[in-house]
Chains A and B, each alone.
Chain A
Amino acid sequence: MVDFELLLKYFSGQAVPEEAMQVEDFAAAAPDQYAYFKSLHESWMAAGGEHYELPDVRKEWELFRQKHVIHKVIQKPVHDTLFKRVGIAAALLLLVALPGYFLLNPRTDQQKLVAAGTADSLLLLKDGTRVTLSPHATLSYPGMFTEVSREVTLSGDAFFEVSAHPELPFIIHLPHELQVYVTGTSFTIRQRPAEVVIDLKEGHVLFFNPTDTLRLTAGNTGSYLVTKKTFLLQQIAPLTGSFNFTNASLEAVARQLNQHFQVHIQLQNAALAHCQFSAGFEGQTLNEILEAISATFNLNYTIENKNIYINGTACH
């Protein structure tokens, strides 16, 4: 139920988005409620000498559609396009390291690279994006990208290094109505009957289907389970890290290491928590860092999966 006062608050233009949604949901819930809502709004307007009229939604949609939805693809005279396509193909053939072959479809603007053979095929797209196709993978892409997006279709596995064009998203269409949306990053797509997996090296990627979206950030792996139709995020802990500790307590050091490497360091002796540690680490592994700490304070440690137990008597 929506409070009367909330309705007034809404009418007077003081409602935050969440409240506005509540009010509009209330209005839309049943014809009776809608009638009540509309007449109250009218009275409110009249009370201030104002007037409100709903626009014709159909008209507004047509306006919107005409202006923005009708695709604007660069049109070129036919012979030019043919020449360009041959030109692109020629340039690309030089870069293809290993067997793959092109299918040129003269009727549409789409081209296809089918990776044959037993090794990878490297493809350089017009925008500078590099795609390494695994054997038997197929990438379908247009001769020219549109003004709004760069769209390709992939079946099989590939490693993408998408060139950065923030205003021009790169969209990969996959089976099962899946799409991958990036602006400029590098990642691997692996497709299996039961799942589709994306391994993200850098940047971020949107991996989605009509109902769900998974946002991947660097270092993560996302998978889509085909039968369950759900997305899963697998977080991979980094292998190395850089830290600068200046008179940091071992407790604080442990906390930072825990967070970065996704482990659980436990100081078995409570006295150890206050040992002061100063050291800089540049791209070191967890083990290297633990070694350094142990050496400094004459401690020892044991690792059991994600748990690390540090033992010792006191700080020396």
Chain B
Amino acid sequence: MPSEATGRDYVGEALARVERMTRTITAALAERGFQPVEPAIMQPADILLELYGEDIRRRAFIFQDETHGELCLRPDYTAPVARHFLASGATHARFAYAGPVFRRMASGDPRPAQFLQIGMESYGDPDLAGADAAMFDLTARALDWAGVRGARAMTGDLGIAFAVLDAVTMPESWRQRLKRHFWRPRRFRELLHGFVGENDADGDAGRIAFLKAIGSLGEAQARDAIEEMLAMADTPHIGARSPEAIARRFLAQARDAQAHPMSAEVAALIESILAVRCPLDQALDRLTEPCRAAGVRLDAALTRFERRLQALAGRGVDLSATGFDAAFGRNLEYYDGFVFEFTQGEARLAGGGRYDRMMSALGATSAVTAIGAALRPEIILSLEGAI
């Protein structure tokens, strides 16, 4: 059986190089107000399961311990550092970290399961555009301190996609489904085409006709019809889901069945926004134009976008040399706003983004802004040929 790498052993010169890079970057970050933090490597697994669901078991090392219950080896620093911050009760803070994280790789993937990250998180900065640009710039500087030259930058904005979905008129259940499946591009596209009526997916004609009939009844009449249907089929109610919840959703489905299919123009608008890929200095026009043509207002999201461009330019970032891809960040399920990464050839050297919404999933009682980034020192050093 081929054995995949678990992680590197460091000794001698290689160890010295890694330690030197770590010291340089974390010292510079400390000077800029990023407090060093080293959360526990072993974390309770329930947080991960809450955030990502059962699927995380394939991607993280989760194990059962008699005394401590279900534990995991931290797959990244973001969740542990965020929890530490929330527990502190502070309203804003900045942290820096450096150390190993652990991820299960798919079978046949040669990448090691244990690797190093050097990173930073910034919480509670109310100036969203400013904080986005600052984190982007700081990541670029950190690469500079690490001796990297000529890395390419790519950015995205997941907030734009969600703003389009919010701005367009459609049944709420459709909107929720599209948002939930935004992270699965193929399913998202299937859903969209289904709403336009292009596939005959989601059930037989008989059921749809029945739903349409129920949907034209008043609420009380519809509930009666459902009860009668169940009684005729000799079906008792069982389980924790209440009859009211079932009837409520059934009625919502019935009303949706009466909804007009999504117009092809609206679906095309959504797809065209997600297809925008260009240098960052052209992105605002490329996003604004289809919205204007379709009569869809995206004012708040586009204003935020513009402010961020200004903040980036203000820090000397060359927007024409920076990429924009509206679908970028779509496979990273906890980012919800600005996302970015720095690459050299095929190698991904650093990446980061905004994740305000994850903070409430982690237990924040009031809204907290959060943005962070991490570098991959081993990839950087191996590109140099140093390890």
Please determine whether chains A and B interact with each other in the same assembly.
no
Residues of B within 8 A of A (CB): none
